[in-house]
Chains A and B, each alone.
Chain A
Amino acid sequence: EAGVAQSPRYKIIEKRQSVAFWCNPISGHATLYWYQQILGQGPKLLIQFQNNGVVDDSQLPKDRFSAERLKGVDSTLKIQPAKLEDSAVYLCASSLDLAGGTDTQYFGPGTRLTVL
């Protein structure tokens, strides 16, 4: 079974530029998560989708971050414009279904973003 795929693996941009990350979850997984992990900290949930609907985006900085999962499969996370404090690893995860959170979450390798 293929795991969660993410691209690119690394990205370096200057502040005020835009960037987009892509995630393809495990086949058949209804729920998709985007996390932000700042160096030295645990991951923090940015947004959660079930199929193509948003379940939780309470911690997404909506003035600059956006995410979509149009066909309920792969997803894109965008930052526009980027700030220095957005430097982090962006992790995508998926789980089989919502089901009260009883499913294991499987993580992709992450995208390491550096904002200069």
Chain B
Amino acid sequence: GIQVEQSPPDLILQEGANSTLRCNFSDSVNNLQWFHQNPWGQLINLFYIPSGTKQNGRLSATTVATERYSLLYISSSQTTDSGVYFCAVEDSGNTGKLIFGQGTTLQVKP
């Protein structure tokens, strides 16, 4: 099955810093989503981005489908950005089933 690898596994930032999170996947995908899981466990969809670039406020994401990776950029980080960021891809079965990576745990210090 498709493999999803995220890096780095852990990241500690000072408030105001910028960061880049990476997601590599082992096969072509129909769908790629980035999620943020807050400290209370709620998963929030950030981007649906199978290809190209999208921006939403301080967050932006780029997926290069031909090279099988996606990047999530966080600019001017805030303490509320803390949590776990997951990349998830739809497997080749075209059913909507998402395969999640192991996540990047981000801690933003004031």
Contacts and interface: CB of A to CB of B under 8 A. Distances in A.
Interface of A: 31, 33, 40-45, 48, 55-56, 89, 91, 93, 95, 98-107, 109-110, 112
Given A41-B102, A42-B88, A107 B43 contact: yes
A104 B56 CA distance: 16
Interface of B: 4, 30-31, 33, 35, 40-45, 48, 86, 88, 90, 93-98, 100-103
15 contacts: A33-B96, A43-B86, A55-B96, A56-B93, A93-B43, A95-B96, A101-B30, A101-B90, A101-B97, A102-B31, A105-B98, A107-B35, A107-B45, A109-B42, A110-B41
A80 to B, nearest CB: 24
A1 B85 CA distance: 25
A47 to B, nearest CB: 10
B95 A55 contact: yes
